Structure 1
C-alpha cells in the first residue's frame, strides 16, 4: 500500500511504495542524504520520526507515534526503516532533487603554474572512488582547507563536463598572510583538502530558453567562474549568443586572454571584449579602455531576453547592475555570488 512521507522541516510530501525503506523512497524521488553502511550499523542516516507507524529491521524497532497525544519523537534509520502508514519525519542535511551534496575530500595537486605576475593556475584531481566522488554545477566554487583549519573560497575554473579534473585561478597577494600560506602549501604538498560544491550562482545549459542572450562580466580572477560556465555551454553545443567581457586594471591582468579569443574564433555565437581601465600603465594596449559597465552599456541598446552573470568585487557588480537598470534591466536577471555575501543595501 502506498503511503505519504511528509518531510516537516522542508515542507515536502512524497509518496512511498509498500515495502520500501525510507531511504529507497527518498532516492527514488531524487532526494539525497548522508549514508554509510546502509544496514543500520553506522547510524549515519538518522531520521526523526514525528508521526506514523514504522518497522525497523536493524536495530529492531516497531513504533507507532501520534503527535496529537504529545508522544515524543523517535530516531530511526532511513536505510532499515519501513513505513507502515503515512509518516511525518524531520531529516537534517537532506538535499532536494537538483541540489548537490557538499563533501570534504582530499584532492591530488597535479600542477601549479604561474599565468602572469601574480596569478597561479592550480590543477586538482578529485578522488576516483565512487563514494568519495563529487558533483558541481558550472559556476560554483569550493573551499581550500589548510592543515591549520583555515580555509578560503575559489571559483572552480573548469567545467563539470571535465570529470575529476578541477582548475583554480588563485591570485597571490604577497602582503597577505593567508595568501602566502595558500601558495606555499600548494607548491610543497601533494594533496589538499577541499569542500565542494559551494554557491548558488551557477548555470545548466539545458535549462536556458532558446531566445536568451547571455552576458558574462568578469573582473580579474572572476574569469575563472566565467571559464567554467562557458566551457560547459560549449561542451553541450549551446548556440545562443554569448557575450564575454573581461575587465582589468592593466593588460597583464588578463592572464588567459587568448582562450576566449579562441572560443570566439571557433564558435560564431561567442563574442569577447577585453577592457582595461589604466591604459597609462599598459603601454602596448590597443584595445578598449574604460570600465566594464561602460563597455557593456555601449554595446547593448536594450536588455530584452538577457541574463547577466557577474564575477568580481561587490563594487563592480553593483555598479554594473545600477548602470543596466537605467536601461530597464531587472535585478532578477543578474546572477552573482556577491548577492549572497554582500547583499544590496536598501
Structure 2
C-alpha cells in the first residue's frame, strides 16, 4: 500500500510506501525536503500536517512538543504516513537554500578505478547528514587550512555516505597522500555542499551530459538521481578521455544505456595508441557532440571537466544554436589541479 503526499504551497506530490519514512520517500523521488540529522533531533525538517494522519514509530521526538503535535507540527525524518497527506513544508528550491556544514567524516573504502583515479567512500557521523544536490561538491579542510575540492559522485538519496572520484595529480600534496599513505578508517574534515551545478527541474528539454575525465563524477550523481526520480527525458551521455582505461566506470554507463531506453552512452577517445582495437568515436568530445547535433537549441547541456574542454564546448555549441541559459558547467576540480 502507498499513500499520496501533497505539499503546500508548491502542490508537488509524491508517493510514500506503507511504513516508509516520509523524508526517505521524498528524497527517493527527488523532492526538495529540508533536513539535517535524519534522527528527529535537529528540527530542520519541521513542517505542518494540514490533513491526514502520521505516526512516529519510535515515539514523539524531543523536537516536537505535545501541544505542537496537537497543532499539526511534525518532523518528517522519523514519521510515517497512515493516510494520504497534505503537508506544509518550505522546500529546498535552489542550492543556496542548503546549509553549508563543516563535518568530520571517516574513510570507509579506497578503491582504484584506474591507475590515476581513486574512488573514496566517506561515512558521515551517525547523527549528521549532508543534504546536497546532485552535481555539487565538497571541500577537504587540510591541517594547514588549505582546501581541496571534489565533486560528490552519488545521488543525494544515499546521504549517509559520500562517493568521490579523485584523480592523482603528480606532486599534488593531497592526492599523493591519498594514493600512497591514506588508509581506510582515516578521519578527515569536509565542508559543503558547494556549487550551483545541478539539473534544473523547471525544464523538460532532452539532456546532453558531457564529462571529461573525472568530470564523470557529478554527471554520475545527476544520472542516478534522474533514474530514481523516474525522469524519462532523453539523456545523451558523452564521456571524453584520452584512452580506454580512462573511462574508469564504462561498465556503469553501459549498464544505464542497456537498462534504460532513454539513456544513450557515447564514449570518445582523443589519444588512441597505435594498434588500438577501439571502434568507437575519436577526437575531442565536444566536436563529437557538435557533429551529432546540428541544432542544439532544443536541449539542455551540462558540462563537467577541464576548463579547456568547457571553453571549447561553449564556443562550439553556441554555433549550433544553444542558448546561453541552456548550458551549465562545472570546472572547479581542474582549476586547482596544481595543488591537489
- Report the 3-state secondary structure (helix = DSSP H, G, I; strand = E; otherwise coil) of the residue aligned with 2:227: helix
Which consecutive residues of structure 1, in runs of 5 or more, have no partner in the other structure? 1-29, 39-95
Which consecutive residues of structure 2, in runs of 5 or more, have no partner in the other structure? 1-32, 36-40, 43-91, 336-340
**RCO higher in 1 or 2 (8 Å CA, sep ≥ 6)?**
2
Task: Please report the TM-score for the alignment, with normalisation by the length of structure 2.
Answer: 0.67
Match of 1:307 in 2: 300
How far off is 1:178 after superposition?
3.5
Taking the TM superposition and a 5 Å limit, the aligned residue runs for 1:142-291 are: 142-184=138-180, 186-187=182-183, 190-203=186-199, 207-210=201-204, 212-280=205-273, 283-291=276-284
Match of 1:332 among 314, 319, 325: 325
- Report the 3-state secondary structure (helix = DSSP H, G, I; strand = E; otherwise coil) of the residue aligned with 2:120: strand
Match of 2:66 in 1: none
- Report the 3-state secondary structure (helix = DSSP H, G, I; strand = E; otherwise coil) of the residue aligned with 1:186: coil
Bigger radius of gyration among the two: 1
Structure 1 residue 298 corresponds to structure 2 residue 294 = no
Taking the TM superposition and a 5 Å limit, the aligned residue runs for 1:66-77 are: none
Contact 2:151–2:333 (8 Å) recurs in 1? no
Q: CA RMSD in A?
A: 2.7
CA distance in 2, matches of 1:341, 1:252: 20
Match of 2:108 among 102, 107, 110: 110
Contact 2:307–2:334 (8 Å) recurs in 1? no
CA distance in 1, matches of 2:185, 2:227: 33
Q: Identify if the C-alpha distance between structure 1 residues 288 and 246 changes in structure 2 by more than 3 Å, giving closer, same or farther.
A: same
Tell me how many residue pairs correspond in the alignment: 249
How far off is 1:202 after superposition?
1.2
CA distance in 2, matches of 1:141, 1:279: 31
